[in-house]
Structures are given as structure tokens and as C-alpha cells.
Amino acid sequence: MLILQVAIPRPLFNYFDYLPPIGIDTNQLRPGIRLKVPFGNINYVGMLVNITNESKCPINKLKPAIHIIDLNPILSENELGLMKWAANYYHYYIGEVIATALPSALNQGLPAKIKPLIGWKLAKTNIQLDNLPKNAVKQKAILNLLQQHPQGLTQTFINSSLPKASPSLKTLQQKGWITTELIDIIPNKTIAKSSHLQLNQAQTKVVNQVCNNLQQFYPVLLDGVTGSGKTEVYLQIIQKVLDQGKQALILVPEINLTPQTVNRFEQRFAIPIATWHSRLNKDERLHTWLLAKDGITSIIIGTRSAIWIPLANPGIFIVDEEHDLSYKQQNKFRYSARDIAVVRSKRAKVPVLLGSATPSLDSLYNTTCKRYLYFKLPERAGAAVHPTYYIVDMRQQPPKESLSRQLIRAIKQRLAAKQQILLFINRRGYASTLTCYKCGWVAFCRHCDARLTYHETSKNLQCHHCGIMQPLYIQCPECKHSKLYLLGQGTERVEEYLRTKFSDANILRIDSDSTSRKNAMENILEQIHTGGVDILIGTQMLAKGHHFPKVTLVGIINIDSGLYGSDFRSSERMAQLLIQVSGRSGRANEPGEVIIQTYHPEHPLLTKLIQKGYPEFAQAALKERYIAAFPPYTYLALLRAESIDKPPLEFLEQAKQLAHQCENVQLWGPVMSPMEKRADWYRAQLLLQALQRKPLHDFINQWLPKLPVSNNKKVRWSLDIDPQDLF
């Protein structure tokens, strides 16, 4: 009797046994196909993982599966093996791991079949662009794009290349020049690819070494300063991969970097390039997933979850900005896409390339242990040089001024020279605190242990943790005093100040508020690159991989919040952010300058970073981690718990008592989380630490089954393996 072991997308660790569907040919049953199965009173789409002849349950109590969804496996044995490994390593439910790895359309039971997408095509082939009015710039651009892609383009693809194209598309449709059509595959560029750039000696060494090892697992950390030409290295290696008929998967940390990266790749390669990010709709995501699985597309560029896309013939995995925290999933299945990329490349026996100007201490440690090979690009590409740093002591400035005299003077000089300025402040909104000087009251969120931020654009107070919004108080709720004060500075307040100070300048604010609309970031980047912006004000969204050749001045308005963080990784994150932001300056022919405003100019971490650079900082930080027995010299797991009624310390104490004695694993806590209350849930945590990875996981394997299921209404918990923050 055949027994089907099925993974169901529920928070349960084990597989569930079923009999084959009634009346089907059992030869159709293979691991990797989906089945519709009954579970309780609900029918689920499950994944067939194993076929066996034995079951722990009596045969007469097993239910038959309802029916088979797939005639052929949609996941290979290797892909299923990767998901089993991930479920085991992260101690997470196998059914939900598989559900995370699949597009939502497949989790809903829809056919795994490539079907045409609705898109736009030229209705006429002999269109003369000169016949359009001179001001019809967007229409000309759309027609030019469609002439390059005669098989048609999806709406998403057009919008990624030409923001706010919808009105022009409708106008052209009304004229009868374009029409909506079904598109068979993703865009396949027919124009000739651009030639590659000349590599310097350091770049050449990386390309040659990786290309000579394309047939084996070859893990590389590429430590290249900002502007050193890491992307060109990626492109030339990928060309060799394509020449062998294989595929390349490239991860980028943020969705806003996807259009820029895709554009660079499209200029180089005349082949289909697929993208994967949260702004694709359900059909588009399924389309990309199937094209990659069937080998129709050879280059896939995506954000974190793209690491699960199956490849017919993998050739290389590339993780750009490998240090970035966004590669770590922060809820439910808390996997690291960067680490999965390394495991996946090892299983596929192909290289993996981790690139960054500020490598994580974890990756640097792996190079010292000879787990990764280490290559460095020490100089900027072309004629560009490293920027010059200046530290400004804000204690010597007027107390109410957000911008120092030195920064104001430098801005004036750059504006006169027709160059661009980037001002960084890692706080959105107008003011971070509303307070009453008379009684000391401060506006706090009633759902979180956090202050409310005032947003001038909406005239509301907002919590940046739970999202609640409320009107601005007109008087103090405690003492009824009528005068309240806004303290602290955010992007909106700096923008307001600059508009009064430099009224003739084109000023643009870039934060999650100004880029929330679809295609907003693409439109902003277009303005920057065409020279329509003089001063950029933004948060860390601007720090990640953007190439602004006209920016010659970077002003960091307040770096102090990163100097005294409670997490042991705070200094590492601050150093990476500072270097990454600074790296936007002077990337072309004009020299760059970075002005850092601080109330702590003597801070040893800041002075070491500026005077010695990131490599010296990283080596010093690794020594501190070794002395303190912190990762990467030890291994951590974090049991997080939340309770709606009271702090969940009692639950965590019970969990600690259930732990068996183990000399190789230490349990610290429980303690309340740094933010004790968030969205009405009280939060606490228990930290597990071990000198070696295996004893930690062996301990968790014995301990975890003793804990209650995390679905009761009073306490919910989750386990975070290799936590990247302790909040």
C-alpha cells in the first residue's frame, strides 16, 4: 500500500500521511507534485514530499487525497531537499517553508502553466515618431520602447522603464497606434548589446578567478569600495555563465534598486531578463517563476524571496550589498536569503558571489576561516577618487540650526557649480517629539512604547511602529497648557528649512512617505539622473547602491543615534550606513566631499572610521566581538514571546525550565525586549548562546517539541535562528 507523506501549509512540524486519490494511476505520484488533501474540516493544497509503504497511523484511519493538481513535479528533488534543509536549520514548519518558496498562485492550487500575460503591442509597424507633437515626450518613449520589443511588453515592465506611462498608453491606444495583446514570454531585446567596460587589474583578477571555477562551489566575498565597479565584475562573470548555457540569479536588497539594476543589465544583454519583487501581481510572479524553472529566462534579478526561485540550469548566485539587513526575514519564517544563497550554490556546485563596500563582520570572519575566498577592489573605477571627510562639532553651532555653517557654505558652492547635493537624515517626518515644557508631558503612542512623530504633510501624529495616526494636540492633555513644542528633526523639517534657505534650488525629499506611490521611486531617479534636482534629502533608502554621478557633496545631518545603540551590532550598522551614504559622493570626474555633523566628534568609533576606513574598523570590531564572545565567534538563537494581557515573562521562564541541562548551551534571560510594547502586545525574549553551531541545534531539537503550539490567544512565540537584531 502506497502512503503519501504530504507537507501542509500549517504551523506543524511533521508531514501527514494520506492514501492515493481514489481511481488514479499511481505512476503519476512523484515527490514535488501538489495534491488537494482534507485536513480537519478544510481542504488544503499540500506538497507531496515522500512516498513510502509504512505509516505510524492505522491504514483504516488514513484519508485518501482528493486529487492530484500537477501531472509533473513543480519542485525537483534538489529543490525539495533545500526546503527540508531550511526547515531543519531554522526549526520551522516544513509546510510553511514550502509555501514561502512558492508563488501565491501555486499555493492557491492554480495550474503551473506558462500562460500569456496581458500587455501592449504596436498596432502599426510603420509609425513615424516625428509625426508626434514635440511635447509628446512620454508617447515617443513608449513607441520607441515597443519598437525595440515587437513581441510586446507588460504594463509592469513599461512602468518600470517609464514611470507614469498609463495616460500616454491610453492616448496612443485611442489613436490606434498601440493595442492590448496577450504576450507569450517576457521581453526579449532585439537590439545589440553594449560592449563591456575595460577592467582594472583588481577587477580582472576577480573575473578570471571566478570564471575559472564555474564548475564547482566557489564562495567569494567581493570587498569593493563604493564606486569600484562591482556591477561590471558581475556583468562580465555572468556573460561567461551565459556562454555556457546556464542561468544567473542576482539578489538586490531593496525593491527600489531593481529598476536601476535591470536597466544596467538590459543595456548589456540581449536576452530575456526576469524580475521578482513585491510590486509584481500574482500572475506576473507565477510567470517569472515558471520561466526560470523551465530555463526560458537566463537572468533573474530580485529581492529577498527570489532566492527560492527554481533554476533549470544554475550557473551562479550573486548577492549584492550582502551586508544588508533586508536579506533577513524578520517575521514568521525568519530565513536569511544571503545564507540560503550560499547553501544553494553549494548544493548546485556553482560559485556564489557576495559583494559589498562594507562587508558584514560575519562574512569577513568566514574569509579568515577560509570558508570564503576574499577579493578586494580598493580603488574607484575610472577617474573617480575617494571623497574627503570633514567632521563638524555641532556643539559649536547655534542650537536651533539643523545645518551647520560649514554645510550651508558647501551647499552654496555646489549649487553655484551646478552640482548635486545629497543630505542624509535617518528619520522621516517633521519632528520626532511633541512635548509640553510646562509639565513635561510627551506624546507617546498608546499602543507602543514609542513617541509619536509629527508629519507636516498630513498634519498628523504617527507611530512608526504600529502605524496609528491621530490629529495634532492643540493643548497639553495633562496640564491644558496651550503651547506645545515640536522637538527633533526629520526629513520634512529639513526640507522646509532648505526651501527657505535656498528658494531657487530644486529640492527633492526621498523617504518611505514620498515613495509610497507606485513607480514613485523610478520617477524620482529619473529626475535625479536628468539633472532636474539640485538637493536630495533622504533616509537610508539613498544609501543602497544608487549611482548619482552628479552628486559631489554628501551631508550627514545627525549620525549620533547610531553611536550608542543597545544592540551589539549597532556600531557595525552605523559604520556601514555612514560609508554607504558617503559613497554616493564623487563617483564621476568631480571630487566628492562628505560633511558629518555630530555632537560627539571625539567618539572613538567615528574617528577610527573616518581616519582609518571601514577595514580597520571591521578588524577592531571583530576583536571586540571575540573578547565579548559575540557572533561570529558564537552562535545565537532568540526565543521571542508576545502577550496581549501582560508581559510574557512567565511563559519564557517555563520554557527555560523545560530546557534540559546542557554544558554547551547557555540561556540568558528572560528579559523584556528593548521596546516592551508594540501594537498592544507586550514583548520579551530568551537568548540561547553556544560556542558551536551543532550543540545549539541539537539542544533546540530536543527542547522545541516541549513548548506549546504558538497559536493560543494569550501568548504567541517564535524562534529566530542567527538573529540579526535583538529588538
Strand partners, 42: 39
**The domain boundary residue, chosen from 488, 511, 530:** 488
Look at residue 185 in the predicted model and tell me its pLDDT.
Answer: 55
- Band (pLDDT 50/70/90 cuts) for residue 516 is low
Place of cell 525574549: 685
- Top mean pLDDT of 25-29, 373-377, 648-652 is at 373-377
Look at residue 128 in the predicted model and tell me its pLDDT.
Answer: 67
Non-local (6+) Cβ contacts of 331 within 8 A are 718
- Which amino acid is it at 632? P
Look at residue 195 in the predicted model and tell me its pLDDT.
Answer: 67
The residue among 359, 163, 190, 214 whose CA lies nearest residue 272 is: 190
Please state, in angstroms and rounded to a whole number, the distance separating the CA atoms of residues 195 and 535: 33
Look at residue 370 in the predicted model and tell me its pLDDT.
Answer: 95
Lookup: cell for 647: 508581559
Please state, in angstroms and rounded to a whole number, the distance separating the CA atoms of residues 723 and 727: 10
**CB–CB of 639/686 below 8 Å?**
yes
Non-local (6+) Cβ contacts of 58 within 8 A are none
The residue among 727, 726, 724 whose CA lies nearest residue 323 is: 724
**The domain boundary residue, chosen from 89, 107, 125:** 107
Non-local (6+) Cβ contacts of 392 within 8 A are 404, 406, 407, 595, 596, 597, 598, 601
**pLDDT tens track for 298-322:** 999 999 999 999 999 999 999 999 9
Q: Using CA atoms in the order 467, 473, 476, 478, what is the torsion angle rounded to 10 degrees?
A: -50
| 333 occurs within a structural domain | yes
Q: Give mean pLDDT, residues 471-479.
A: 92
What mean pLDDT value characterizes the chain?
Answer: 88
**CB–CB of 328/336 below 8 Å?**
yes
Q: 3-class DSSP state for residue 377?
A: strand
Q: Mean pLDDT lowest for which of 511-515, 536-540, 557-561? A: 511-515
**pLDDT tens track for 240-298:** 999 999 999 999 998 877 777 887 888 888 787 888 988 788 888 998 999 999 998 99
- Which amino acid is it at 625? R
First to last CA, the chain: 50
Residue 239 confidence (pLDDT) above 90: yes
Q: Are residues 401 and 545 in the same domain?
A: yes
Q: Are residues 239 and 336 in the same domain?
A: yes
Lookup: cell for 304: 529577498
Q: What is the C-alpha radius of gyration for the chain, rounded to an integer number of angstroms?
A: 28
Q: Are residues 594 and 707 in the same domain?
A: no
Look at residue 685 in the predicted model and tell me its pLDDT.
Answer: 95
Q: Are residues 678 and 565 in the same domain?
A: no
Pairing of strands 218-224, 273-276: unpaired
Look at residue 515 in the predicted model and tell me its pLDDT.
Answer: 58
Please state, in angstroms and rounded to a whole number, the distance separating the CA atoms of residues 651 and 641: 8
Would the CA dihedral through 572, 577, 580, 586 be positive or negative?
Answer: negative
Q: Are residues 172 and 92 in the same domain?
A: no
Residues of the chain with pLDDT > 90, as a percent, come to 53
Q: Give the CATH number for residue 681.
A: 3.30.70
Residues spanned by the domain of 501: 388-428+490-626
| 193 occurs within a structural domain | no
Q: Give the CATH number for residue 325.
A: 3.40.50.300
Look at residue 339 in the predicted model and tell me its pLDDT.
Answer: 98
**pLDDT tens track for 439-465:** 999 999 999 999 999 998 888 999 999
Q: Give mean pLDDT, residues 108-137.
A: 79
**CB–CB of 697/649 below 8 Å?**
no
**CB–CB of 429/491 below 8 Å?**
yes
Please state, in angstroms and rounded to a whole number, the distance separating the CA atoms of residues 606 and 599: 11
Q: Are residues 480 and 494 in the same domain?
A: no
Look at residue 532 in the predicted model and tell me its pLDDT.
Answer: 79
Please state, in angstroms and rounded to a whole number, the distance separating the CA atoms of residues 163 and 165: 5
Non-local (6+) Cβ contacts of 32 within 8 A are 47, 48, 70, 73, 74, 75, 76, 77, 79, 80
Q: Give mean pLDDT, residues 477-503.
A: 90
**pLDDT tens track for 614-643:** 999 999 999 999 999 999 999 999 999 999
Look at residue 435 in the predicted model and tell me its pLDDT.
Answer: 93
Please state, in angstroms and rounded to a whole number, the distance separating the CA atoms of residues 346 and 216: 8
Q: Are residues 462 and 409 in the same domain?
A: no
**CB–CB of 296/334 below 8 Å?**
no
Look at residue 243 in the predicted model and tell me its pLDDT.
Answer: 92
CA-based angle 612:614:618, to the nearest 5?
Answer: 105
Residue 523 confidence (pLDDT) above 80: no
DSSP state string for 127-185: --GGGS-TT-HHHHHHHHHHHH-TT-EEHHHHHHHSTT-HHHHHHHHHTTSEEEEEE-S
| 383 occurs within a structural domain | no
**CB–CB of 661/604 below 8 Å?**
no
Q: Give mean pLDDT, residues 592-600.
A: 90
CA-based angle 719:720:721, to the nearest 5?
Answer: 115
- Top mean pLDDT of 281-295, 331-345, 368-382, 547-561 is at 331-345
Please state, in angstroms and rounded to a whole number, the distance separating the CA atoms of residues 402 and 491: 11
Q: Mean pLDDT lowest for which of 150-164, 468-482, 528-542, 619-633? A: 150-164
Please state, in angstroms and rounded to a whole number, the distance separating the CA atoms of residues 253 and 260: 12
**CB–CB of 681/699 below 8 Å?**
no
Q: Are residues 316 and 248 in the same domain?
A: yes
**pLDDT tens track for 164-219:** 777 888 888 888 888 887 766 554 443 335 667 889 999 999 999 999 999 999 99
The residue among 479, 452, 449 whose CA lies nearest residue 467 is: 452
Q: Are residues 524 and 420 in the same domain?
A: yes
- Top mean pLDDT of 159-163, 470-474, 513-517, 559-563 is at 470-474
Mapping DSSP onto H, E and C, the string for 395-414 reads HHCCCCCCCCHHHHHHHHHH
Please state, in angstroms and rounded to a whole number, the distance separating the CA atoms of residues 726 and 675: 10
**pLDDT tens track for 67-122:** 999 999 999 999 999 999 999 999 999 999 999 999 999 999 999 988 777 788 88
Q: Give mean pLDDT, residues 660-685.
A: 90
Look at residue 270 in the predicted model and tell me its pLDDT.
Answer: 77
Residues of the chain with pLDDT > 70, as a percent, come to 93
Lookup: cell for 390: 570633514
Domain count for the chain: 6
| 56 occurs within a structural domain | yes
Q: Give mean pLDDT, residues 320-328.
A: 95
| 47 occurs within a structural domain | yes
Q: Mean pLDDT lowest for which of 71-85, 143-157, 678-692? A: 143-157
Q: Are residues 468 and 409 in the same domain?
A: no
Q: Give the CATH number for residue 11.
A: 3.40.1440.60
Q: Are residues 222 and 334 in the same domain?
A: yes
Please state, in angstroms and rounded to a whole number, the distance separating the CA atoms of residues 7 and 39: 11
Q: Are residues 693 and 707 in the same domain?
A: yes
Question: Helix 94-101 to helix 77-89 angle, to the nearest 10 degrees?
Answer: 120
Look at residue 194 in the predicted model and tell me its pLDDT.
Answer: 62
| 726 occurs within a structural domain | no
Would the CA dihedral through 140, 145, 150, 151 be positive or negative?
Answer: negative
| 540 occurs within a structural domain | yes
Residue 477 confidence (pLDDT) above 50: yes
**The domain boundary residue, chosen from 488, 503, 519:** 488
